[in-house]
Structure 1
Amino acid sequence: MRVFVPTTVAGLRRLLADGQVQPLSGTAFALTPALRESYLAGDDEELEYVAMSEAARASLRLLATELADDPETPPRRAVVAADVDDVTLRPDLDAAVVRVAGPIPSKRLASIHLDLAEAADAVRAAAAVIDAADLGDEDAELTLGDAEDHDLAWYGVQELPFVLELDVPDGG
């Protein structure tokens, strides 16, 4: 099953160093039967995009924590796409949520998705209000929407070292 793992630039750096990605609490997102049922229309590609978008939103939550600890953290959402076999559906949490058992090795990765530099201000602002948006604050939802208007760029797994070196210097 193709899963989308939310992470951050720091998580991508760990992936590069460790040769694996460790989803927080095993949480990832995927095109699940529950997600398919929640949409009246859409092919697999469109619904996988929905799952990836959910992972990007979860990346904002991770980023909010990192920014609270270090304001110089690069304000970029990041998602790792991988193909894994050991997946547990979690429709009790959300239609696209799955749990993966353990770390996912690099050989199982399909692609890396990362915000471009032009999204940094919108992403930083959205990370600051993600909890308020979850609670229904309309202004926070608009701020979140500004970040989500930026599509994540697609990179091949082999491009990760170059992307981190050239596009996302330490400190953003």
Structure 2
Amino acid sequence: MRVYIPLTLSGLARLHNAREIAPAPLTAYAVTPALREWYLSGNEEELEYAALSRAAVASLRLVATELGVARRRVVVAAEVPDGVAFADPDMALTGEALGEVRLTEAVPLVWLAALHVDAEDAAEAVAAAADAVGAADQGDDDARFVVDGAADHELLWYGVQELDQLL
């Protein structure tokens, strides 16, 4: 199953050093039955993009908690074996965790398929969005507009072999 794991640049550095994303359980995003139902007319590529986008917002929440590091969203795509990712059907019904899955194992480097990272020119928009994400989650429309500004910056795609250059 393809999953999208939200990280930050410091999380990417930890992945580089440890050669895995750990410890489990980990939160990730995937094309779950609830996400598929929510996107009634979406094809597989659109569903994957929706899961990636949800992981990007989760990465933004992680960025909001880190101080003193570059403010860029990071999402790691991985292919995990059957039985590693589980969706909580009760959470999916609330809409809050649409596409969210729990990974029961650490994710080794060999499972990674791609890295998605903001370009450097997105840092200002991502920093503003990270500062606003809490208020946006509470329903503040102005803050939601700022958070959506970060979403206007597409994450760049990198091959796993480019991890060293990203850092």
Q: Write the deviation string for residues 74-108 of structure 1: whole angstroms up to 9, x where unpaired.
A: 01000000011211112333220000012100000
**Whole-Å Cα distance in 2 between the matches of residues 107 and 63 of structure 1?**
25
Partner in structure 1 of residue 78 of structure 2:
82
Q: Show the 5 A alignment for 1:41-120.
A: 41-67=41-67, 72-85=68-81, 86-93=84-91, 94-120=97-123
The DSSP-based 3-state class of the residue aligned with 1:99 is strand
CA contact (8 A) 2:77 2:114 kept: yes
**Structure 1: stretches of 5+ with no match in the other structure:** 165-172
**Structure 2: stretches of 5+ with no match in the other structure:** 92-96
The DSSP-based 3-state class of the residue aligned with 1:58 is helix
The DSSP-based 3-state class of the residue aligned with 1:92 is helix
Q: Kindly tell me the number of residue pairs found equivalent between the two proteins.
A: 160
Distance 1:101 1:41, change over 3 A: same
Q: Write the deviation string for residues 3-32 of structure 1: whole angstroms up to 9, x where unpaired.
A: 000000000000000000127751100011
Structure 1 runs of 4+ aligned residues shifted over 6 Å read none
One-letter identity of the residue aligned with 2:46: E
TM superposition score normalised by structure 2: 0.92
CA contact (8 A) 1:133 1:144 kept: yes
The DSSP-based 3-state class of the residue aligned with 2:125 is helix
CA contact (8 A) 2:71 2:123 kept: yes
Q: Write the deviation string for residues 129-162 of structure 1: whole angstroms up to 9, x where unpaired.
A: 1111011101100000110100000000000101
Identical pairs, percent:
51
CA contact (8 A) 2:24 2:103 kept: no
Partner in structure 2 of residue 169 of structure 1:
none
